[in-house]
């Protein structure tokens, strides 16, 4: 998470809100995945009587959302969204032609074809929006 936080902050400093929000979204997805994986560990630890590991996991679960990288990412993501909301019209006017061009490009068609050909169900490896255009399009078109 520290790496994705730094990459997202670098994109934000460069003014690329789309990729910044994409990387902050990765952190959010990682936290959700960690939280879901803990449900499986409850049954495993109790079945194997690994009580020390179980209590360590409970402690980690209590502190998961207070992780400094998670908190920093959340604050910075809100700052990016605030900047997006403040400049929505100008960002939308600049973004729409760029997004349309990307969605019609061969690069995007190749991404969709590669995703369709893969058998893996890993959502991180099968990212159908590697450049963050769909996420950003949803955020820009969302009216507050």
Q: Can you give the residue range of the structural domain that contains 101?
A: 87-144
Q: What is the pTM of this model?
A: 0.77
**CB-based contacts of 44-51 (< 8 A; 24+ apart in sequence):** none
Residue 129, pLDDT > 60, answer yes
Q: What is the mean pLDDT of residues 17-27?
A: 91
Whether residues 19 and 76 fall in one domain: yes
Residue 65 and residue 107 in one domain: no
Residue 27: half-sphere exposure toward Cβ, Cα within 13 Å: 27
> Does 98 lie in the same domain as 63?
no
- The answer on 68 and 134 residing in a single domain is no
Of 69, 86, 103, the residue that ends a domain is: 86
- Which tens digit of pLDDT belongs to each residue from 46-102? 787 888 888 888 888 888 888 888 899 999 999 999 998 898 888 888 888 888 898
Say yes or no: 39 and 62 in one domain: yes
How sure is the predictor about 125, in pLDDT bands with cuts at 50, 70 and 90?
low
Q: Would you say 2 and 24 are in contact if contact means Cβ atoms under 8 Å apart?
A: no
Residue 40 clears pLDDT 60, i.e. is over it: yes
Q: Are residues 16 and 65 in the same domain?
A: yes
How far is it, in rounded angstroms, from Cα 50 to Cα 34? 19
Helix segments in 49-105, DSSP class H: 51-63, 68-86, 88-103
Within this chain, do residues 110 and 96 fall inside the same structural domain, yes or no?
yes
Domain count, the chain: 2
Examine the domain organization and report whether 79 and 137 are in the same domain.
no
CA dist 1 and 124 (Å) reads: 14
In this structure, the answer to whether residues 72 and 91 fall within a common structural domain is no
Bigger pLDDT: 115 or 58? 58
């Amino acid at each position: 998470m520290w790496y994705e936080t730094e990459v997202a902050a670098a994109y934000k400093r460069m003014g690329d809100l789309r990729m910044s929000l994409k990387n902050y979204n990765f952190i959010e997805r990682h936290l959700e995945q960690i939280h879901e994986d803990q449900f499986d560990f409850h049954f495993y630890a109790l079945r194997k009587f690994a009580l020390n590991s179980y209590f360590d996991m409970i402690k980690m679960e209590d502190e998961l959302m207070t992780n400094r990288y998670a908190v920093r990412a959340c604050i910075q993501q809100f700052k990016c969204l605030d900047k997006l909301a403040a400049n929505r019209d100008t960002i939308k006017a600049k973004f729409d032609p760029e997004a349309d061009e990307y969605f019609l490009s061969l690069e995007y068609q190749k991404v969709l074809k590669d995703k369709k050909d893969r058998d893996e169900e890993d959502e991180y490896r099968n990212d159908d929006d590697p450049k963050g255009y769909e996420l950003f399009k949803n955020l820009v078109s969302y009216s507050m």
